[in-house]
């Protein structure tokens, strides 16, 4: 049809060459242009990259909503990638479409077939452990205790978070969420074996996190706070935890271990819920 006269091949590689002919080419071209893309088109690229598998079964409008852009932005995006329009892009994905692993359990089984100890088998185990923990938490959550914990911590001047070793990831995530929600909080991390117990002021409160085997320092801080009359909220694994005796509100989280390591899924779910509820209660 219409032939551009004497084109420089190198210059044209990206722009005038036909549309990507495979999903790999698609990804490559996407990565290429990604960096110099204006805001809306960037949103399209991100959302589409994250949901490549949905392109085949989505409409322009649906993708646009997902990427939080107007439909015309999606159209422009398709054209920038070299397609004549959305339909042509979609055709690529429809032809390649095969509804992957239909359900969760089949796929898990499949991962495990890599052999015991293989990375994917391990992943499958940890996924399963996490899911079971979450399910157990959904069933066992103590609404009353949660409510009490929220009101205790929402009423404090500063929330002191303490959690070490395996509980430290949870503690640090809590610190992050509190900061984002402008809740005054302090993370006691035990760096350099200092303990910052002198930072505890009247009207503060302590949120202590520990699981068996319970960390000495965490217990000490909780005890200390208790002795000074500060309220303590415990996030722990069972009602027989030594933390229980110092606590005004006790949140227990049933976590399933695989090997020596906890999944932490349930603990983190509980922690974020707690933090967000507190942030909201303080009028964040």
Partner DNA sequence: GAATTTTTAGAATAAAAATTCCAAAATTGC
Partner DNA sequence: GCAATTTTGGAATTTTTATTCTAAAAATTC
Residues 130-189 that bind DNA (CB under 7 A): none
Does residue number 263 form part of the binding site for a second copy (CB under 8 A)?
A: yes
Cα separation of 132 and 163, whole Å?
Answer: 23
Q: With respect to a second copy, which residue has the nearer C-beta, 127 or 186?
A: 127
Taking CB under 8 A as the binding criterion, the range among 73-81, 127-135, 201-209, 218-226 that sits at the site for a second copy is: 127-135
Relative to beta strand 257-258, strand 261-262 is antiparallel
Does residue number 54 form part of the binding site for DNA (CB under 7 A)?
A: no
Cα separation of 34 and 45, whole Å?
Answer: 7
Cis peptide bond upstream of 213, omega within 30:
yes
- Of residues 200-219, those binding a second copy (CB under 8 A): 212
Task: Show Cβ contacts of residue 152 under 8 Å, excluding neighbours closer than 6 positions.
Answer: 205, 231, 233, 248, 249
Q: With respect to DNA, which residue has the nearer C-beta, 69 or 266?
A: 69
Does residue number 284 form part of the binding site for a second copy (CB under 8 A)?
A: no
Does residue number 40 form part of the binding site for a second copy (CB under 8 A)?
A: no
- Of residues 143-182, those binding a second copy (CB under 8 A): 143, 146-147, 149-150, 165-166, 168-170, 172-173, 176-177, 180
Nearest approach, Cβ of residue 45 and DNA (Å): 11
Q: With respect to DNA, which residue has the nearer C-beta, 78 or 222?
A: 78
- Of residues 91-110, those binding a second copy (CB under 8 A): 94, 96-102, 104, 107-108
Please give the size of the binding site for a second copy, defined by CB under 8 A.
87
What's the CA angle centered on 156, arms 152 and 157, to 5 degrees? 175
Q: Quick count: other Cβ atoms within 10 Å of Cβ 232?
A: 24
Q: Across the strands, what pairs with 280?
A: none
Task: Show Cβ contacts of residue 273 under 8 Å, excluding neighbours closer than 6 positions.
Answer: 146
Tokens describing residue 144: 């009353």
The residues binding DNA (CB under 7 A) are: 38-41, 59-61, 69-73, 75-76, 78-79, 84-88, 90
């Amino acid at each position: 049809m219409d032939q551009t006269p004497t084109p420089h091949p190198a210059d044209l590689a990206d722009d005038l060459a036909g549309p990507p002919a495979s999903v790999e080419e698609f990804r490559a071209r996407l990565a290429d242009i990604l960096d110099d893309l204006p805001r809306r088109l960037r949103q399209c690229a991100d959302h589409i990259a994250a949901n490549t598998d949905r392109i085949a079964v989505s409409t322009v409008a649906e993708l646009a909503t997902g990427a939080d852009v107007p439909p015309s932005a999606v159209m422009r995006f398709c054209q920038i990638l070299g397609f004549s329009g959305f339909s042509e892009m979609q055709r690529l994905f429809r032809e390649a479409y095969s509804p992957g692993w239909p359900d969760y359990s089949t796929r898990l089984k499949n991962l495990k077939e890599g052999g015991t100890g293989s990375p994917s088998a391990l992943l499958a185990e940890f996924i399963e452990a996490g899911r079971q923990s979450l399910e157990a938490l959904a069933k066992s959550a103590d609404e009353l205790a949660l409510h009490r914990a929220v009101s205790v911590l929402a009423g404090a001047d500063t929330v002191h978070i303490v959690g070490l070793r395996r509980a430290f990831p949870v503690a640090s995530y809590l610190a992050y969420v509190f900061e984002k929600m402008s809740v005054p909080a302090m993370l006691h991390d035990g760096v350099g074996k200092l303990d910052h117990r002198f930072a505890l002021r009247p009207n503060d409160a302590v949120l202590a996190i520990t699981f068996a085997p319970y960390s000495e320092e965490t217990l000490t801080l909780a005890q200390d706070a208790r002795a000074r009359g500060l309220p303590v909220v415990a996030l722990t694994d069972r009602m027989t935890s030594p933390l229980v005796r110092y606590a005004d509100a006790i949140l227990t989280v049933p976590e399933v271990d695989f090997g020596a390591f906890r999944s932490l899924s349930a603990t983190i779910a509980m922690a974020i819920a707690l933090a967000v509820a507190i942030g909201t209660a303080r009028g964040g």
